Amino acid sequence: MLMAVVGPSGAGKDTLMGLARARLDGDARFRFVQRAITRPAEAGGEAHRPLDEAGFEAERAAGGFALHWNAHGLLYGIPRDIKDDLAARRVVVANLSRGVLADAATRYRLRVLVVTAPVAVLAARLAARGRETAEDIAARLAREMALPPGLDVVTVMNDATPEDGAARVVAALSRAAEDARRS
């Protein structure tokens, strides 16, 4: 099963996924995917496989990605070898864009894990980052996070401690692993 992780900025997706990855380290039921991104490694953010545009396009043309998309002026890709993990009934956990979910649902058994938090919490987290003005934050939060219809969606509310949120993610992933084994 492909577990697509999505959610609004400030929801704590990277934090919770890092903690969940650490808690599930060595558990063969799961694979946490590292994305290829046309962003330098030293740019910060998630640990990713950095590629320049030419390298990304060459890999895409060679069929190296199971899924790929562009967002925020960058190119993103999920490696093709996830197909082996899916065939072995592992849960493949990947941070995806909402824009690629419909395509992913046509190719794979997909479950969407929405990590979110109350608007006030999101606003406070975004403000603490110091990257945007209050007006930019308000505009970002006003954008609706619409998902394609008919998807299998699980929501994790990240409104407590990171450890509590990670426990909720681990529980959702464990349920997905049970479902993947039954199919």
Query: Over pLDDT 70: what percentage of the chain?
Result: 98
What strands, in cross-sheet order, belong to the sheet with 36-37? 49-50, 36-37, 74-79, 65-71
Q: How confident is the model at residue 136 (pLDDT cuts 50, 70, 90)?
A: confident
User: Please, what is the average pLDDT of the chain?
Assistant: 92
* Geometric angle at alpha carbon 31, from 105 and 33, rounded to 5°: 70
Residue 183, pLDDT > 80, answer no
3-state DSSP of 3-63: EEEECCCCCCHHHHHHHHHHHCCCCCCEEECCCEECCCHHHCCCCCEECCHHHHHHHHHCC
Going from N- to C-terminal start, the domains of the chain cover 2-33+85-182
Q: How confident is the model at residue 129 (pLDDT cuts 50, 70, 90)?
A: confident
What's the average model confidence in pLDDT over 105-126?
93
Q: Which of 65-69, 120-124, 139-143 ranks highest by mean pLDDT?
A: 65-69
Which CATH number is correct for 2-33+85-182, 3.40.50.10190, 3.40.50.300, 3.40.50.920, 3.40.50.1000?
Answer: 3.40.50.300
Residues 6+ apart with CB under 8 A from 3: 91, 92, 93, 94, 111, 112, 113, 173, 176
| pLDDT for 47 | 80
Question: Is residue 159 classed as helix, strand or coil in its secondary structure?
Answer: coil
- Of 93, 104, 66, 78, the C-alpha closest to 176 is 93
| pLDDT for 44 | 64
| pLDDT for 144 | 67
Cα 60 to Cα 34, 66, 78: the distances in Å are 16, 9, 10
Q: How confident is the model at residue 71 (pLDDT cuts 50, 70, 90)?
A: confident
DSSP-derived secondary structure for 127-148? HHHTSS-HHHHHHHHHS-----
Please state the pTM of the whole predicted model: 0.89
Q: Tens digits of per-residue pLDDT, 14-64?
A: 899 999 999 999 999 999 999 999 988 776 667 889 999 999 999 999 999
Q: How confident is the model at residue 159 (pLDDT cuts 50, 70, 90)?
A: very high
Q: How confident is the model at residue 131 (pLDDT cuts 50, 70, 90)?
A: confident
What's the average model confidence in pLDDT over 145-171?
94
| pLDDT for 9 | 81
Q: Give the Cβ contact number of residue 69 at 10 Å.
A: 18
